[in-house]
Amino acid sequence: MDTGTHVVMGLALGGLATLDPVVAESSVTASSVLIGTIVGSQIPDIDTVLKLKSNAVYIRNHRGVTHSIPAVLLWPLIIIAVVYPFFPTANLLHLWIWTFVAVFLHVFVDIFNAYGTQALRPFSSKWVALGVINTFDPFIFAIHVIGLFIWATGVHPGYTFIAIYAIIVAYYVVRFIAKMRVHREVRKMIPDATEIIIAPTMKFHIWRIAVMSEKQFFVGRAEKNKVMILDQFNRVAVPKTAVIEAAKKDKNLSAFLSFSPVYRWEVDEFDEHFEVRFIDLRYRSNGYYPFVAVVKLNRELEIINSYTGWIFSEEKLRKKLDILPS
């Protein structure tokens, strides 16, 4: 989920913790738990600082180690080590329980996004991405904010948020059912599909679709169970040419390939250089595919420049690569 949603979820868990008699009976414990749930709901995303280093490092590592099983066990202990000295009379066990719940819930809800997490590390490096909830879901964020306002009016926060979380669980079930319906429609339309990727958007009834068959890629969208194919490409295996093999040594392209499950490729030859481009097919927006990896090589197949990440126009991409239009 996005940072804003994790913040309101941390506050909500602090309110939900008031149903715990030990928390309810001690203002010191309640205060420490609120801090623990707020920080715990944020700390797995500390790897966002990797963006400062490079997009390649961020893409390869975000939601990886920091969302793993060892991290989920370790983060609460780190938070408590910092928080507890300020609240020495707080109940340590219950501070740990609610902080752990906050960390666990952060990783758990991220699994339902299309991006997913490597939550099974160290047992598996596979990305777990169920793709039923958008990274920012307006309904989930709004209902948390409503709950916080209700709490501010003096209504018991524990009962408020247990009701809200019951609604959210039902909402997740509805989203799963909606995705299954879209999946069935795609399967009817493309019966020879070998892989179907369905990703949510911020709009409840709209889904992005990327499909692979043995010979083709299909890109589309679904709106209220109506599936539309917007683009269709022949599926061509990436050849082992000298240009592409040289490009694959680039850290940006390597990071892209470690993350993207469905993509097409292009190689353009210019007077003085080659340009290798890999395009993720999952994120079509207004006829454009914004998530790419591009490598520029000279005639000696030395890497001159490269980029991976989100880019929404060819002009901006050229600026990133410092390439004059040919």
Question: Mean of the pLDDT values across residues 133-159?
Answer: 97
Determine which of 14-28, 155-169, 275-289, 303-317 has the lowest per-residue pLDDT on average: 303-317
Question: Mean of the pLDDT values across residues 203-225?
Answer: 94
* pLDDT computed for residue 224 by the predictor: 85
Q: Residue by residue, what is the 3-state secondary structure of the chain?
A: CCHHHHHHHHHHHHHHHHHCHHHHCCHHHHHHHHHHHHHHCCHHHHHHHHHHCCHHHHHHHCCCHHHCHHHHHHHHHHHHHHHHHHCCCCCHHHHHHHHHHHHHHHHHHHCCCCCCECCCCCCCCCCECCCCCCCCCHHHHHHHHHHHHHHHCCCCHHHHHHHHHHHHHHHHHHHHHHHHHHHHHHHHHCCCCCEEEEEECCCCCEEEEEEECCCEEEEEEEECCEEEEEEEEECCCCCCCHHHHHHCCCHHHHHHHHHCCCEEEEEEECCCEEEEEEEECCCCECCECCEEEEEEEECCCCEEEEEEEECCCHHHHHHHHCCCCC
User: Apex CA 186: angle with CA 184 and CA 187, to 5°?
Assistant: 65
* pLDDT computed for residue 183 by the predictor: 96
Residue 322 has pLDDT above 80, yes or no: no
Rounded mean pLDDT of the chain?
A: 93
Query: Which backbone phi and psi does 68 adopt, to 5 degrees?
Result: -80, 170
User: Apex CA 109: angle with CA 91 and CA 256, to 5°?
Assistant: 125
Most confident of 41-50, 74-83, 250-259: 74-83
Tokens of 274: 């080659």
pTM here? 0.89
Tokens of 112: 């339902």
Determine which of 54-63, 166-175, 177-186, 240-249 has the lowest per-residue pLDDT on average: 54-63
Instruction: Characterize the bridge pairing of strands 263-269 and 273-280.
Output: antiparallel
The sign of the CA dihedral 317, 243, 214, 177 is negative
* pLDDT computed for residue 325 by the predictor: 41
* pLDDT computed for residue 316 by the predictor: 79
* CA 255 – CA 118 distance, rounded (Å): 15
Distances in whole angstroms, Cα of residue 112 to Cα of each of 105, 115, 128? 11, 8, 8
What tens digit of pLDDT does each residue of 63-116 get?
899 999 999 999 999 999 999 999 999 999 999 999 999 999 999 999 999 888
Per-residue pLDDT band for 319 (boundaries 50, 70, 90) equals: confident
Residue 299 has pLDDT above 60, yes or no: yes
Per-residue pLDDT band for 61 (boundaries 50, 70, 90) equals: confident
Question: Mean of the pLDDT values across residues 245-273?
Answer: 93
* pLDDT computed for residue 317 by the predictor: 79
